[in-house]
Amino acid sequence: MTKEEIVRKLPYTDPFLFVDKITKVTQTHITGEYTFDENHTFYKGHFVNFPITPGVILLECMQQIGLVSLGIYLLRDKDFDLKSNSTVAMVENEARFYKPVFPNEKVTVLSDLEYFRFFKLKSKVKMVNEAGETVCSGVFSGILKPGDAKS
């Protein structure tokens, strides 16, 4: 499975896709990038005259790359299609925020697998800005369950 195929298999579209590309993927690690376009509608009200990316959107970006994309890769040999026959659910997250992310800022998400068993994936995930500074980090887990095989 290629890095481009992982992105195509994500069950998100614009304006809620927060993955531009996957730059590295192995059985235990994934790295991806996203640039927060200044035209996202959430910047209009968060905060007036000083727009920053909402923390919940940073978490979503981290989870789309660090959990869902990694899960798609780990389940690549199964009939796993989040768009039609599978389930994904967030189970827990613990995050800390250190720096703001501004419009047009590019971030990199790095995720290291803690475990993947019984379709539960748990990873340590970190987001860094272009200066290499940690923006936020956390431990996330979710359920990625393949549906029934297609006939």
Judge whether 65 lies within some domain: yes
pTM: 0.92
Judge whether 131 lies within some domain: yes
- The model's pLDDT over 36-83, given as tens digits with 9 standing for 90+, comes to 999 999 999 889 889 999 999 999 999 999 999 999 999 888 767 777
Please state the domain count of the chain.
1
Instruction: State the pLDDT at residue 81.
Output: 74
Judge whether 31 lies within some domain: yes
- The model's pLDDT over 97-131, given as tens digits with 9 standing for 90+, comes to 999 999 999 999 999 999 999 889 999 999 999 99
pLDDT at residue 144 tops 90? no
CB 139 within 8 A of CB 124: yes
Instruction: State the pLDDT at residue 149.
Output: 46
- The CATH number linked to 117 is 3.10.129.10
Catalytic positions are: 46
Instruction: State the pLDDT at residue 90.
Output: 79
Instruction: State the pLDDT at residue 148.
Output: 59
**pLDDT > 70 fraction of the chain, expressed in percent and rounded:** 95
Judge whether 151 lies within some domain: no
CB 41 within 8 A of CB 15: yes
Judge whether 150 lies within some domain: no
Residue 84 belongs to domain spanning: 3-145
Instruction: State the pLDDT at residue 83.
Output: 76
Judge whether 57 lies within some domain: yes
Compute φ and ψ for 32, nearest 5 degrees. -145, 170
